[in-house]
């Protein structure tokens, strides 16, 4: 009886060992298959990410995709203090090099882009890869215009076109024709109004695009919150980034935006920087800094200066 029990226990133990060995053999044979499946899953994930990026460029930065408003974000986005924008895959939107109006105050209004002299019918091209967010007409503003959101996070606006040759939600590559130069909307002559924005914040296109030399200024652009419109802002902010004092600059910029209103002065015959400084209680050096001019700059009637 005892011998029979010992045989039974030994048989069970041998069976368990055999099952364990067989299981290990099965796992060993399964391992290469699992690795292949993981590789397939990884490729599928990469394809899915690329597909999402193509459908919604910079989808990790922007909360929405809509085709109704150019400036659609307001307080709905979280704008980082700094962000590096890749400019390497670019195309100049036009081969023309003459800038007729710069970014900044103009005629008591803020001009948020560059005006480049083009002629009616000239080809206008996409500056980077991206998806067309808007193709609209605005009689008292941009005229016929196109807005593209790019893979690098920028949005570009092309205004006063005579014809738009892309459709909303269409994916375009850098250099693809998107429209023809024109004189539609609030315009006094044929030209291209070209804007560059990041999360709705204006970036002076001249900080990125060198139209006279038909090239970009650098392979990348360091976006600094609140310091992308004027040269004096940019110089000060870049120095702060290098010295590690960026938090102070951002706080100062936010306080300035929240506590003071922007004032402009339209130059009249006989106006001088000294007279304007006395009227608005601001130093001449500050006036020069706000407007990117020098003390020796000649003031022309009709010119608009920012005074605060």
Is the predicted pLDDT of residue 297 greater than 80, yes or no?
yes
Quickly count helices (H) and strands (E) in the chain.
Answer: 5, 19
Predicted confidence (pLDDT) per residue in 118-172, tens digit? 999 999 999 999 999 999 999 989 999 999 999 999 999 999 999 999 999 999 9
DSSP one-letter code for 292? T
Q: Are 155 and 62 in contact (CB under 8 A)?
A: no
Q: Are 122 and 180 in contact (CB under 8 A)?
A: yes
- Token readout for 185 is 């909307």
Among 39-43, 205-209, 241-245, name the most confident range: 205-209
Of 306 and 160, more confident: 160
Residue 261: predicted pLDDT:
52
| pLDDT > 90 in the chain, percent | 44
Is the predicted pLDDT of residue 258 greater than 50, yes or no?
no
Residue 100: predicted pLDDT:
94
Is the predicted pLDDT of residue 190 greater than 50, yes or no?
yes
pTM across the whole model: 0.66
Lowest mean pLDDT among 9-13, 48-52, 273-277: 9-13
**What number of CA atoms fall less than 13 Å from residue 57's CA on the CB side?**
23
Is the predicted pLDDT of residue 245 greater than 60, yes or no?
yes
| pLDDT > 70 in the chain, percent | 76
């Amino acid at each position: 009886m005892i011998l029979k029990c010992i045989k039974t226990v030994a048989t069970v133990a041998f069976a368990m060992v055999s099952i364990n060995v067989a299981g290990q053999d099965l796992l060993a044979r399964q391992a290469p298959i699992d690795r292949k499946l993981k590789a397939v899953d990884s490729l599928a994930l990469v394809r899915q990410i690329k597909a999402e990026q193509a459908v919604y460029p910079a989808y990790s930065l922007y909360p929405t995709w809509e085709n109704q408003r150019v400036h659609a974000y307001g307080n709905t986005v979280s704008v980082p203090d700094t962000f590096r924008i890749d400019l390497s895959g670019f195309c100049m939107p036009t081969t023309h090099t003459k800038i007729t109006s710069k970014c900044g105050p103009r005629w008591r209004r803020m001009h948020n882009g560059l005006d480049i002299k083009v002629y009616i019918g000239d080809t206008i091209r996409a500056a980077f890869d991206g998806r067309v967010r808007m193709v609209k007409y605005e009689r008292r503003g941009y005229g016929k215009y196109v807005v593209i959101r790019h893979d690098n996070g920028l949005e570009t606006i092309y205004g006063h076109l005579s014809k738009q040759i892309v459709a909303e939600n269409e994916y375009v590559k850098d250099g693809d024709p998107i429209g023809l130069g024109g004189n539609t909307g609030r315009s006094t002559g044929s030209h291209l109004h070209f804007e560059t924005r990041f999360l709705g914040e204006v970036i002076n296109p001249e900080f990125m695009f060198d139209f006279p030399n038909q090239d970009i200024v650098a392979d990348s652009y360091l976006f600094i919150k609140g310091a992308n419109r004027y040269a004096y802002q940019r110089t000060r902010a870049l120095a702060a980034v290098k010295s590690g004092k960026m938090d102070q600059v951002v706080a100062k910029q936010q306080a300035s935006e929240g506590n003071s209103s922007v004032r402009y002065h339209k130059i009249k015959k006989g106006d001088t920087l000294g007279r304007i400084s006395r009227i608005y209680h601001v130093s001449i050096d500050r006036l020069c800094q706000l407007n990117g001019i020098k003390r020796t700059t000649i003031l022309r009637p009709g010119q608009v200066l920012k005074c605060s």
